[in-house]
Structure 1
Amino acid sequence: MLSLLVMPASSGDVASVVIRANPDLLIGEITVEQITTTGAQIWWTTNDPTDSWIFYDVVSHSLVEEYAFSSGNADLATRHHIGLSSLTPGTVYHYRIRSTGIDGASALTQDRVFKTLALPPTGGGGGGGGGGGWFYFPIFTSPSPTPTLQPSATPTSRPTLPGGYGTPEVIHGGEASLYINPGTGEMLQSIILLSPNMHAQLFVAQGTVVKVYGSPAARIWIRELTEGEREEVYMSTPPGVFIVFSGTGVACGPEHTTFSPPIRLTFGPIPEREWAELVKMSQSLREAQGKVVSRGDLSDLFVMAGHFNQEAQSIEWYRVYAEVCPDTRTITATIDHFGPRCMIALFVTPGANTPILCEPAIPLYLEGIIITPAATPVQQADYSHVYPILCVLVGLVLIALVAFGVYYYLRNDRKP
């Protein structure tokens, strides 16, 4: 008899549904890594030793036997890795994983997706010699005028926070009631709102005006993307460009909520292994562009917000200002509103030139404590160059006093 199990999967997933014949056999920790134009590496784990098989196609099927391609081996293991090759560039692939133990018990995942990288755009004449590395990546689906992502520049200047935001209150669970001045809509208390799985957090500073449809807002929420929403992000990534969805993203609301000044959304702290995979993803993209690199670049990470266009029935993506902090393994973006079906996701593209910080610029909740930006130290006056002169003056005064004492003594001693 088959049964359904909802269980945690990869770090970016909210849940993964596994169909299994044996209630004791589980598949989890599914990740797709090192995606190139023609290949991808897929990892997963099982709680008992099983074989490793992946069934894949460019369309989804209800039966695993209907998938056009398969790859795998009969080696029994609990940590599984299958590499796929000879794939078509810029194509969304559907796949399912099946693992079978020595006793014949098996587990089968639902249909999942990943997208191969697109081939670089072909340039006219004379490719030779280096050409300056300029690429322009369209990142909206249909707005007018059509903006582009220029690798050499960030989208906006760094926004400022209202001063004196105080010690923020940390709120778990992904939803918060706001402490709002009902007349002005200003926040009376700074908050850090954590997503349910703590993969992301919102910082709303005291003094921020929060409104929804023009009236003071009562609440805000944030959660990790569902599997279906992650697939939407994969599918809506513009084709023919070097932009790759990292798998990390959140949904936020309510719709039509505005923030003045903007709030901050932080992805992280990202685990070390996933942080290293982001660097590898950057390196793979740079190599696909023909750049000779020794490693990836953290400035290739960037954040886009997606809003659903009802008329076009599509998601429109635009880049938002963000900053990378390697010390805390976080990426912090600036958000001024939540649009219709607002999704905010982390992407990788060579030449994004995202600023890299040495320390967080806002309060963050990391490992159970609030990390606040370091206060600017007070500059003390430097008198070190005066000390030698003072020593000489003190010495001269002492010598003068001794000489005067000797003179006074001798003069008094000679009196009859």
Structure 2
Amino acid sequence: MIKKSFHLLIVILVLGLGFYAINAMASSVTGDLNTGLNSNGGNMDGVVVAAPTPSPAAGTYSSTQSVTLTATGSTAICYTTNGTTPACATSITCTTGTKYSSAVSISSTTTLKSIACYNNDSGGPVASTVYTIESSGGGGGGGGSLPPSDTTAPTISSILVSNISATGSTISWSSNESSLTWLVYGTSFIYGSESKSTGYSTTHSVTLTGLTASTTYHYQLKGKDSTGNAGSSSDYVFTTLAAGAPVVVEPTPPTTPPAAPTPPTTVPGTYSLDEITKVTGGNISDLTAIRNEALETKLNSSLVTPLVKTFSTMTTDQKNIVLNFVTYGTDSTHILGSGERAGVVSSFISAFGKPPVSDADWSDVIKIANGRWPSQTNAAKEATAKVSFRSIYLRQPNMKDKYDNAAVTVMSYGLRPALRNLKSEAIAIKTFRAIFGFAPTKASSWDAVRAIAYSGAKR
């Protein structure tokens, strides 16, 4: 009996000690967890998990950007610029990407992805920010932006014409780099129709249909690479066959068109020095026998104010002289009409960067209106005109050639023809749109249209 009681006591003691040990262990574990949660190593109390904030924000810029990344409460930030998704390994290391330590330099179009890491070894949402870096054209002013890595336009070669029939043909060509290409064509170098490719390639082919029999067609090939550099071929021609003639399957090289007939040239008008005095004198009675104040008000609002509003130094009298010229004209400019006279003033402003205020300025305005070379010159404007000349005529201007010289001068200063040819102007407008891809609206664009229509220069 005593032995059984002793054994029972031992069991009770063992069970009691085990329960105490278990309780102690539980207490110890609980204490460890609580201690861990309240320590600096893993405290997330009050921390808002969020994606990093970049500065500057996503957008299009003209120069290299230094991008800073911030994330309140985070212990580290991981980022990538190669398209992969960053990830946190621990609270302070990255599985994928680079650990952020200083501003990230973005010098070309880049997608910057970033993630914030936290004390509990987790990562927040990923921020994806696109920076587009565009190269600014022109020069001057210092600073500037980095040039694009590729500035060379595609070169077009191996041009062949095949399958010529009465109503169609196939034109094939190659480019020295993968590019989008298209073909413009028509019955003159104005073209008017086009056929575009839909993907990048180095070999290209277009089949034209619906053409007219026994007709000579002009065509030009254009290409643009993935960085936006565009190039074009010369103007070529082929002639469709007579109706019923067998198809010419054999490929043939391109044919250069014969020299185009010379368009009408600018015929200088005549004017008198007395006109300049009448304009600058400011007396409306010198310009017209009948004053029309309602017309002056209308033209001042619609034509004159938009011309001179940016020139704060002009006096009221100087603005009124512009209004009088636009409204009433002079002996040699009555034929132009008020809208075209406003255009002449606009061409002067475009050419010289100032409004006409002096007698010498108004002398040049009237010269421009009459198709005469102005006395003042602007070398920068002429240089810009020579660039436009190359776009239009696909060659450098020969300033010793009277027609090339006339084209550059007309584009520089906006000389008006003494005898207008509306048909030539309509064709010139189509040509301008085919070359530049937009309709003429600014003074410089209309000056280019007049050069095409009247200078006599040709490709």
Scaled by the length of structure 2, what TM-score is found?
A: 0.26
Greater per-residue helix proportion: 2
Q: Structure with the greater relative contact order (CA < 8 A, sep ≥ 6): 1 or 2? A: 1
Greater per-residue strand proportion: 1
Bigger Rg over Cα: 2
Scaled by the length of structure 1, what TM-score is found?
A: 0.28
